[in-house]
Homo-oligomer: A and B are copies of this chain.
Amino acid sequence: MGDTIRRMRIPVDLKHASRLLNHGPTVLVASGDGAGRRDVMAAAWNMPLDFLPPKVAVVIDKATFTRELIAASGSFVLSVPNAAQLDMVVAVGNTSGRERDKFATYGIATTPASQVPAPLVEGCLAWLECKVYPEPHNEATYDLFLAEVVAAWAEDFAFKDGHWQNLPEPQRALHHLGGGNFFTSGGLLKGTATG
């Protein structure tokens, strides 16, 4: 399916970075310590936190290898996967990077990020390179990480001039319902304010 799409990763203006997560897609959280250890997991519990500088919030469980690598590097990359990547998303969401290199196990291709050691996951729709704000209380009490988006990227066919495009089904984002069930992003609606 992806073969029919002309893929071209373009930088996203930081003032539009929040829109990459605004609709609530499940993301992949990639991490790396810059010394060869890396991991990737799925995270439905994420949201934008501010417009400019763009900030994000994401929940990362204490038990994950990802958590250890984020603690080591102070950074991570969020990649926004699509429906064609469903099985990979479920797989990396249900296995631990302590037991296997998920990139090798599931054949996940990556590209280096521009400002952090964690990689971008190939084949996704958009990417956010993030540096963690040290907030030990939130991390310890709520498994909650707050971070600044220092670089953002999107596929030109998917997010153009600051706006998500109406995409064919296999390219639509995933919204996790729990238990491995997802909605894809559906139809585009334009609201007309009556206020």
Judge if A111 is at the interface, Cβ distance under 8 Å.
no
User: In the complex the two chains form, what is the Cα distance from A138 to B106 in whole Å?
Assistant: 38
Copy tally for this chain in the complex stands at: 2
Interface residues of A (CB under 8 A from B): 18-19, 22-26, 44-50, 55, 57, 59, 83, 86-92, 94-95, 105-106, 137-138, 142-144, 146, 162-164, 169, 172, 174-195
User: In the complex the two chains form, what is the Cα distance from A174 to B183 in whole Å?
Assistant: 12
User: In the complex the two chains form, what is the Cα distance from A180 to B67 in whole Å?
Assistant: 35
Specify which chain B residues have a CB less than 8 angstroms from the CB of A90 in the assembled complex.
Answer: 191-195
Can you report 20 residue pairs joining A to B where beta carbons are below 8 Å apart?
Answer: A22-B177, A23-B182, A24-B44, A24-B175, A47-B47, A47-B57, A48-B59, A49-B142, A49-B144, A57-B144, A86-B191, A90-B194, A92-B195, A106-B195, A137-B137, A164-B183, A180-B193, A181-B188, A183-B189, A185-B186
